[in-house]
Amino acid sequence: MRTSTLVSLAGAISLTLAQTQTASGLLMVLSKPVHPDLTDATFNQWYSGPHIHDMLASNITDLILRYKNTNPAAKYPYLALYRLPDTSKISELGKVPTTSDLLPGKVKGTKGGAYTDVLDLDKRVYTRTQTFEGQVEVKGRGKALVTASMGVVNGTEGELDDWYRRQHLDMLSMIKGYHRSTRYVKLDGSSPMFLAMHELDSVTVGPEMKLVLGTEWAKKVLSKVMTSQNDVWEYIIELGKDGLSEAQMRF
């Protein structure tokens, strides 16, 4: 076989492999019960029961975590995170059952309503850009989660990424109770475009955080932030596909 033919064949194979690669990511769902007959207890019974089991059975996701906002005045009191092995499968979300006998119907006193009618929802889809385990790997799930969503001035995205990779996460990992961080970029490019999630042992963050955010580099980067949303969440429950190891039960 001639060399030029081999080169062409190798190029074709590389192109095919690139086309078949899947992008992993995250579906982030913020929620708030808004129906007057839907109590928090019933909402959580439905969400932590049939709903996340339906989501897992759909094969859109292989790992689900739920959290509650520690701020009682927050717009969205609940957070659900769905790991997406293939972000293209998000188009199949419509196949997941929307109704449940646990949910109130549109007519007062009835049951079997759709969650889309009784909840205020904010759904965001991301692709993963970085996972950071810290200098010393910590096993297990942190019982608290800090989420930082932000949009920055155009042209400063690279500086934000450098800061995270070369300073911020290393310093953050020295805080007592730190587990890991995961970073994402929103699939549709809308603002706030960037998301960072930090797993910790406790929802109470110590005074070290002031040092982490007080460096000159941090101040410079954060001065370019146009929009931001920061929340602290308390762990509720998780559900993963059968057979996942402890190391695989991470985002």
- 113-142: pLDDT as tens digits: 999 999 999 999 999 999 999 888 888 899
Percent of the chain surpassing pLDDT 90 = 78
Ramachandran category for residue 207: left, alpha or beta (phi over 0 → left; psi -120 to 50 → alpha): alpha
- Residue 17 covered by a domain: no
- Residue 179 covered by a domain: yes
Domain around 102: 23-240
Q: How far apart are CA 91 and CA 231, in angstroms?
A: 28
Total-model pTM: 0.88
- Residue 15 covered by a domain: no
Rounded average pLDDT over 92-104: 96
CATH number of the domain bearing residue 100:
3.30.70.100
- Residue 4 covered by a domain: no
- Residue 7 covered by a domain: no
**Looking at the 3D structure of the chain, how many domains does it have?**
1
Rg (alpha carbons) of the chain, rounded to whole number:
21
- Residue 70 covered by a domain: yes
- 217-237: pLDDT as tens digits: 999 999 999 999 999 999 999
Model pLDDT, residue 137: 80
- Residue 2 covered by a domain: no
- Residue 147 covered by a domain: yes
